[in-house]
Amino acid sequence: MSVELVQEFLVRCLAVNMGILLLWGGAIAIAGDSIYRLHGKFFKYLTREKFDESHYSGIRSYKMATIFLIFVPMIALSLM
């Protein structure tokens, strides 16, 4: 497996993951109230603060995983 092939794979993975992050963040920013009401039907004790906290910490964790598991190796391969 060549370095160029791995770099191309990582670029595509990064694009997909950034799209997921944009979709998730956009959905929470634009339709946060509707999503909160939908989740509130399933989880009786869900407060708005806990809802926001869980989604933003999920977005943060997903972003950090994307950076450390995809972006950093991609940069390291490009420096080789």
Amino acid at 68: F
In whole angstroms, what is the distance from residue 1 CA to residue 6 CA? 7
List, for residues 10-19, the tens digit of each pLDDT value.
999 999 999 9
For the chain, give the mean pLDDT.
93
List, for residues 35-44, the tens digit of each pLDDT value.
999 998 998 8
In whole angstroms, what is the distance from residue 16 CA to residue 22 CA? 10
Instruction: State yes or no: pLDDT of 5 exceeds 90.
Output: yes
How is residue 76 written in tokens?
């390291």
Q: Which of 74, 78, 64 is nearest to 10 (CA)?
A: 74
Q: List alpha helices for the chain, DSSP H.
A: 3-42, 48-66, 72-79
Which residue's structure tokens are 């694009």? 15
List, for residues 26-69, the tens digit of each pLDDT value.
999 999 999 999 998 998 888 999 999 999 999 999 999 999 99
pTM (predicted TM-score): 0.85
